[in-house]
Each structure stands twice: as structure tokens, then as C-alpha cells.
Amino acid sequence: MKRILFTLLFFCVAAGLFSCRKSTDLNIKQFDDQEMQNYISGNGLTGMQRDLSAGDTTGIYYKILSAGTGSAVDFPDKVAIVFTVRSFDGQFIAADTIVNHVYNYVGHLTSNNLPQGVQLALINILKKKGTRARVLIPSHLGYGSSGFGTGSSDANNRVKGNQGLDYYINLINTDKVTDPVSGKQVSGQDVYDDAVCKNYIAANNLTGYTKTTSGLYYKILQAGSGASITNTSTVSVQYTGYLLNGFMTGDQYNNDTGVGISTELSSEVKAGFVEGLQLVTPGAKLSLIMPSRMAYGTISAANGTIPVNSCMRYEMNVLSID
């Protein structure tokens, strides 16, 4: 008899827990949907569509800004994305597209602190490389009740719990595409990077830069003299590397003694360095603006101060050939 009573009690408790969990899931989705409607109407958003790809269960809303023509993406695929995000309450904003770069497998994006909603949006909404979209993610597919970030709940570097997220996502087309200028087949990342470099030059009213056939922009600030530098030379240089938002990265070598760092061009990882230094002679001062593939490419560098797929600017003082 006791055994029967215990069994009945177990199933009653289990049923109660299941019912409670189901009710909680339903309540948070209802809460999220109300917050979504308030955000859309409160910000005067138009053209937002509800994601129906999973039987109308996600609660994600979106607007395609431009449709991509690249290959379709799925969880096992590596993708390059650039994004901005703000929480619905406006307290958390990450809007720097120079910094907000990710290159990873779709199924591993949570390791880059991106929420599940971004994964689902890439597969079900953006679908193809080259697509740009605005995506509104409900809190249950964002950072949930715990939120995300450091500091107090009111800190600007923290997403509060139960906050929806407003993303602009650019799924870079890393497939081969036709360069609109040269007509050659190039990586879509190269096309994106060149646009970033051109925008940077224009926005900062920079003049006197020349673009090489490889995509490197350079300006000789001071002419040098002496022997030519080759791709096998070892050159003593001082330099400072900047992101194109002006941030000085950890990739630099400068000191008050005037001593440079010895750089073997045959083993230098930055192709932009190798090409740029061959354009001058010792004693020259040089400014380089380079696409990501001529800097560190898909690798995060300089103790994390250089994100993946970062275009770079280097100011260089060429001291001597060693």
C-alpha cells in the first residue's frame, strides 16, 4: 500500500512540475510577445515580419534589408558576421561595426557570447551569405532572466534580465564574387573590406593614398634613401597599428630610444607589411591602410585588441635594413 501511495505521489509531483514548467514557458513567451509589440509600436517600426519558419514558436521578428546571393548556411558552416545590438530598454548598446566581428561555425556562435536567437535567425531568416537584416530577438532566445555582461543591473555594459534584443546583422558573403571594379573573381570579404577602407578614407578626409592591385592603400609621408627593400629583407621598423575606429591596438612597437624591431619580411604574417615596406627605402615614413586578409585575417590578434576580419591602419617609421 505504501509503495502504491509513493508511486502515486511521485507521478502527481512530476505532473505538477511539468505543468508548472509548461506554464512558465508559456508566460515568458506571452511576456516577450507583449514586449515585442510595445517595442515595435513605440519605435515606429514598419515592415517587421514574424518568423514563421518553426511553426510560429520563436517569437522573432525581422526585416530583410538586402537579400544575399551567396551559399545557404547551416549549423556546420563557418560564417563571418558584422553586427550591432541594443537592448529593448536602450541601456545596452554595442554599435561599433569595426569591433563587432565574429567568424565561427554557426553551431558554435554561443561561444562568442551571441544568443541562440542569432543562430536561428541566420539559418531561418537570413539564410544566404550576403544577406543583411534587422532582427528582433525575444528574451527567451536572448540572455533570458539572468541577462548578460558585467557590473550592476543598471550598468551600460550589461543586458538586464528578460530584455529583448534589436540586432542589425550583416552576414558577409565569403564566397567568390565578381569585383564591381576589376571584374575579377574575388572573395566577398575582400569586397566588403575595400568598401570599409574607402569609407574610412572618405569619412576622415584623408588624401594622398594610392591603392595597389592587391588592395593595399599606402601614403609615403617621408621619402627614404639607400638600398631597396625586398621580400627577403630584414628591416628595422617602428610602427603603431590602429583599428579603423581610431583605437590603438596592442600591435605596435615604439619607444623613446628610436630603436626599431627587427622584422623578417620572409616570415612576416601581415602581407600588407611585406608589400608596403617594399614601396620605400630606409628613412621613410609610411602610412598603410589594409584589408583584413593583408593583416591578421580570420585570427584575433594582439591579445584580443584586434578582432577577426579587421581592416587595419599602420603608421610606420622605416629605420634601416639589417
Q: How many residues does the chain have?
A: 322
What pLDDT score was predicted for residue 184?
80
Residue-wise pLDDT tens digits, 227-239: 999 999 999 999 9
What pLDDT score was predicted for residue 16?
46
What pLDDT score was predicted for residue 154?
58
- Domain 176-321 belongs in CATH node 3.10.50.40: yes
What pLDDT score was predicted for residue 7?
42
Helix (H, G, I), strand (E, B) or coil at 42: helix
Domain regions of the chain by residue span: 27-171, 176-321
The low-confidence residues of the chain, meaning pLDDT below 50, are: 1-23
Long-range contacts of the stretch 263-268 (C-beta < 8 A, 24+): 263/234, 263/235, 263/236, 263/237, 264/234, 265/229, 265/230, 265/231, 265/232, 265/233, 265/234, 265/235, 266/231, 266/232
Q: Nearest 5°: CA angle at 135, between 22 and 84?
A: 120
What pLDDT score was predicted for residue 257?
78
What pLDDT score was predicted for residue 98?
97
C-alpha cell at 42: 513605440
Residue-wise pLDDT tens digits, 264-320: 999 999 999 999 999 999 999 999 999 999 999 999 999 999 999 999 999 999 999
Q: CA 213, CA 185: separation in Å to the nearest integer?
A: 14
CATH for 27-171 is: 3.10.50.40
- 268, exposed or middle or buried, with CB in 10 Å at 0-12, 13-18, 19+? middle
What pLDDT score was predicted for residue 60?
97
C-alpha cell at 142: 536572448
Tell me if domain 27-171 and domain 176-321 are identical in fold: yes
Q: CA 262, CA 238: separation in Å to the nearest integer?
A: 9
What pLDDT score was predicted for residue 25?
56
